[in-house]
Amino acid sequence: MSRTQQILWQTLQQAGVVQGDMPAKNKDASPWYIKVLLGVSGWLAALFLMGFIGLSLSDLWREFSTALVVGVLMIGIACVIFHSAKNEFTEHLALAISLAGQGLSIFALFGLIHNDSLVLLLIGLSQLLLVVLMPSYLHRIFSGFCAAVAFYIAMMSLGFPFVFGSVLLLVTVWVWLNEFHYPSYFSLMQPVAYGLIFALLIINGTNWFSSDLWDWRYDVSHSVVQPWMAEVLSGMVVLWMVAQLLRRHFHSLGEKISVAVFAGTLLLCLVSLEARGITVGMAVLLLGFANSNRILMGLGVISLLAYLSTYYYCLDTTLLQKSFSLLLIGVVLLVLRWVLVTFFPVQEGE
């Protein structure tokens, strides 16, 4: 091991993040192409297995109660395989079996219960349970994503389509800010955090707010909560996130730089009310920068570009109004940068 790795491990020990001696590097780890080959083999084996079961039990799809029992059994088998898996083949085999079992169970629930909201809530709760039971990184990402989407659609079916996006943003921000605060739960929190991020970017996309994607199923035009209210709530979450980051870097909220950062964040949230989704993209980008996470930073940049493009080509407002809104956001960003660089320069050594 290198000297830099030893120093890093000692620093983590002093901070209470890790304990014991530094683990030795695993020299027997398979190359990435072997892992990909084993993963593909696992999926092929699972598909053939599920195809055989589906053809053998063709009457299964006609009895919803039987389908539910078989689906739950498949999920249980996948859980057992996950806990005993020692390579990528068995892990991907278990993942495919679990996804098939979940699909069969969801199909059965919609057939047995004629209440979309209740079914969606049950799906969300079951996905949260699978997050705890399934010791798979990929499965936890998938389960976190599905749980968030299921709760979102459930809120939409109940007539509150724009509330859950802000609640999800708050939960996502909290998880990422506390990513390393609970070392014993790190293997659970990080994949769930990624799943929540993916769901958040989809749910808060401007195309979800401005299109008629769900009008065929749920009438959201008469909802009490409007999209701009969700943007206000999202702005409040971003302000709370900024306060937490300032405290992390030992800045008192009464200092001049803290007041300037708060004022700039509030101004940016206000000018982006018309261009919905900008606040969420900004929050993801800021989380990535604060946690030195390049994946989050990349997702933040991509989401901002997607939201801006969707807003620019949206037909709800005139081209002149959209151009003026984007110009105002750009000017505000340039002014904020000039203020920070001019009045709060970074000193040498900071």
Domain boundaries, the chain: 39-114, 116-350
Distance, CA of 181 to CA of 179 (rounded, Å): 6
* Sign of the dihedral defined by the CA atoms of residues 168, 174, 175, 176, in that order: positive
- Checking if the pLDDT of 123 tops 60, the result is yes
Q: Which tokens belong to 261?
A: 């950062």
Distance, CA of 218 to CA of 152 (rounded, Å): 12
- Computed over every residue of the chain, the mean pLDDT equals 79
What's residue 227's pLDDT?
64
Render pLDDT for 241-269 as a digit per residue (tens, 0 to 9).
Answer: 988 888 887 667 677 777 888 888 888 88
Buried/exposed 238-252: b ≥16 CB within 10 Å, e otherwise: beebbbebbeeeeee
| Residue 121: pLDDT band with limits 50, 70, 90 | very high
What's residue 26's pLDDT?
54
* Sign of the dihedral defined by the CA atoms of residues 34, 137, 154, 316, in that order: negative
What's residue 243's pLDDT?
87
Q: Which tokens belong to 114?
A: 């004629």
CB 165 within 8 A of CB 200: yes
Q: Amino acid letter at 324? A: F
Q: How many other C-beta atoms lie within 10 A of the C-beta of residue 112?
A: 12
Q: Is 122 helix (H, G, I), strand (E, B) or coil?
A: helix
